Amino acid sequence: MCSNSDQQRNKTVLVTGASRGIGKAVAMQFAREGYKVAVHYNSGTAEAEALVAQLIQEGCDVMAVQADVRDSAQVQHMIDTIMAQWGVIDILINNAGIAQQKLFTDITDEDWHNMFAVHVDGTFYCTRAVLPAMIAQKQGVIVNISSMWGQVGGSCEVHYSAAKGAIQAMTKALAKEVGPSGIRVNCVAPGVIQTEMNAILDPETLEALRQETPLEMLGTTAHVAEAVYYLCSDKAAFITGQIVGVNGGMII
């Protein structure tokens, strides 16, 4: 069941890439805590609509919004739709992403540009669209979802690592710029999380990754969602510009 907290019910959250995986877990966390949640999706129409229907059944205040985050016009239309419905976006979770494993010499121009378009351009477009209202109201929270590979690099994922590293640099720079406006910007860098994206890995690889993790376990989407939720709460009021690893100790 969804929370009835008046303070939370008056706050609105946009979660990009929320039809599955980490984004879905984050959207569910906020909705069940009583926030108004915009569930963004691009191609996962059925999944997003099913999630929204489930949360509405639970008494949550949610809506589905579609946009290709690679397109600034579509992003602006999405933001305008949410603002028309709820009047404000208090929290933005930039989670939309893709993954691809390839040898560096096999990465095509299209692979490279698409990886940056989804992760970096998408984060830029969504953030740019919500910031004017946040600055005007002198408050707001932005959490970008990166990856531990953006911190240390991943073999056969150079373009992915580079894009995720760019998000981390963007987080630190923007936190300095908008801090005086009362806006906090942080980044969560997950480790190996049990998602559909990682389901392509064979059992032997997943077991090896589990054994490499000091806590000897793979992360769940709920682990990441809890970290994101904390960073958006008043308990994290003095935290900004940080890269928070949720990786079981694999990257320290």
Please indicate, yes or no, if residue 236 is contained in any of the structural domains.
yes
Helix (H, G, I), strand (E, B) or coil at 193: strand
Please indicate, yes or no, if residue 198 is contained in any of the structural domains.
no
pLDDT of amino acid 8: 60
pLDDT of amino acid 196: 74
Is 160 part of the annotated catalytic residue set?
yes
- Tokens read off for 155: 């073999």
The dihedral built from the CA positions of residue 117, 147, 80 and 68, taken in this order, carries a sign that is positive
* pTM for this predicted structure: 0.95
Please indicate, yes or no, if residue 153 is contained in any of the structural domains.
yes
pLDDT of amino acid 185: 99
- Tokens read off for 87: 């009047």
Q: How far apart are CA 232 and CA 215, in angstroms?
A: 26
Please indicate, yes or no, if residue 72 is contained in any of the structural domains.
yes
pLDDT of amino acid 187: 98
Please indicate, yes or no, if residue 78 is contained in any of the structural domains.
yes
pLDDT of amino acid 5: 58
Tally of structural domains, the chain: 1
pLDDT of amino acid 10: 82
Count H helices, E strands: the chain? 10, 7
Please indicate, yes or no, if residue 207 is contained in any of the structural domains.
no
Q: Which domain holds residue 33?
A: 6-192+221-245
Supply angle C-alpha 30, 33, 35, rounded to 5: 60
Q: How far apart are CA 125 and CA 131, in angstroms?
A: 10
Give the CATH number of the domain where residue 235 resides: 3.40.50.720
pLDDT of amino acid 115: 98
Please indicate, yes or no, if residue 76 is contained in any of the structural domains.
yes
Chain mean position to CA 93: 4
Tell me the DSSP string of 49-87. Answer: HHHHHHHHHTT--EEEEE--TT-HHHHHHHHHHHHHHHS
Q: In whole angstroms, how far apart are CA 84 and each of 79, 80, 118, 179, 200?
A: 9, 6, 25, 27, 39
Please, are residues 104 and 151 in contact by the beta-carbon 8 Å criterion? no
pLDDT of amino acid 97: 97
Please indicate, yes or no, if residue 200 is contained in any of the structural domains.
no
Q: From first to last of its 252 residues, what are the pLDDT tens digits of the chain?
A: 787 655 565 899 999 999 999 999 999 999 999 999 999 999 999 999 999 999 999 999 999 999 999 999 999 999 999 999 999 999 999 999 999 999 999 999 999 999 999 999 999 999 999 999 999 999 999 999 999 999 999 999 999 999 999 999 999 999 999 999 999 999 999 999 988 776 677 888 889 989 999 999 999 999 999 999 999 999 999 999 999 999 999 998
Catalytic residue among 35, 125, 160, 229: 160
